[in-house]
């Protein structure tokens, strides 16, 4: 395997999102997207008090033109949308939502979790849709941790294949363009070598620190590594004393113009204006609380 080299090291910066903070390594001033990946938010870990106020309460809001994906590492979240989908995520679960032509949804801490309290941690990723798929029908995929295939890499290293394919194991999610989304876990001292299609753009988000690449550099937690398209795979080694986690993302670039405004991601300013108009006319459906 010819290892790819790192083009950009993108440390996450803190953003206030209402009652809680997120860490954002993408987009940045240097890198506005890693086509087809548009945005990555790492929230938590933080503690929720039993019976306290819900810091995760993201009330009904619209999306069009892309796919918001939530990887929940700890805690419990309830999803509800205008297509009459309800999802209850617990630690290890993933929700892959295709906004397509338009959807309204909310995300909140689940009722039982808010009653007992606990730790919350997760990642929200925005995946772009190609121009031909911008106006597809919305879709909601509720992927339970037990249904996400796991590949054993040896030495205790494991990868959960959320989307794409690794060594013949097919991921759980259906995607509109070729995408790999792998959740890597490395015990202390373990090394993982992961093949990646040469045509894919590639990034690795390090949730935990003490991870080194094949080039010998050691990186801190909450860092996104953006790789050059100069090899057939990557190598990551846990140089720390505890378990290390990384989210590996690769995808076939779409190569289309990206124009975004708040919750809409389209290909032109005209399409953004149409999205705002259609939302105002009720064309995204109607959100009904349970």
* Residue 2 annotated as lining a ligand binding site: no
The verdict on whether residue 63 carries a ligand-binding annotation is yes
Q: Cα–chain-centroid distance for residue 2?
A: 27
Question: What is the rounded distance in angstroms from the CA atom of residue 110 to the CA atom of residue 102?
Answer: 24
Beta strand 201-206 pairing with 223-227:
antiparallel
Residue 209: count other Cβ atoms within 10 Å of its Cβ: 16
Angle at 17 between CA 14 and CA 23, to 5 degrees: 25
> Is residue 137 packed enough to be buried (19+ CB in 10 Å), middle (13-18) or exposed (0-12)?
exposed
Q: How many residues does the chain have?
A: 290
Sign of CA dihedral 53, 97, 264, 62: negative
Contact 151, 166 (CB under 8 A): yes
Residues within the annotated binding site?
61, 63, 105, 107
Residues within the annotated binding site for Fe cation?
61, 63, 105, 107
């Amino acid at each position: 395997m010819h290892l790819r080299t790192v083009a950009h090291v993108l440390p996450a910066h803190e953003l206030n999102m209402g009652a809680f903070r997120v860490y954002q390594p993408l987009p940045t001033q240097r890198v506005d997207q890693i086509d087809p990946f548009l945005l990555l938010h790492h929230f938590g870990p933080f503690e929720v008090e039993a019976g306290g106020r819900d810091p995760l309460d993201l009330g009904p809001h619209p999306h069009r033109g892309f796919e918001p994906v939530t990887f929940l590492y700890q805690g419990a979240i309830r999803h509800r949308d205008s297509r009459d989908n309800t999802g209850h995520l617990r630690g290890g679960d993933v929700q892959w939502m295709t906004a397509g032509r338009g959807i309204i949804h909310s995300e909140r801490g689940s009722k039982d979790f808010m009653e007992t309290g606990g730790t919350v941690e997760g990642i929200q990723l925005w995946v772009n849709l190609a121009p031909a798929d911008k106006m597809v029908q919305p879709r909601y995929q509720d992927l339970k941790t037990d249904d996400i295939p796991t590949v054993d890499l040896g030495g205790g290293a494991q990868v959960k294949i959320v989307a794409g394919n690794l060594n013949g194991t097919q991921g759980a999610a259906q995607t509109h363009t070729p995408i790999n989304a792998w959740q890597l876990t490395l015990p202390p001292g373990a090394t993982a070598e992961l093949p990646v299609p040469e045509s894919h753009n590639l990034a690795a988000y390090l949730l935990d620190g003490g991870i080194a690449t094949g080039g010998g550099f050691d990186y801190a937690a909450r860092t996104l590594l953006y790789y050059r398209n100069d090899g057939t795979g990557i190598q990551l080694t846990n140089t720390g004393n505890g378990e290390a986690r990384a989210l590996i993302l690769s995808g076939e670039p779409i190569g289309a113009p990206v124009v975004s405004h708040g919750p809409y991601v389209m290909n032109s300013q005209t399409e953004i204006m149409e999205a705002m108009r259609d939302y105002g006319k009720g064309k995204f459906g109607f959100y009904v609380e349970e």
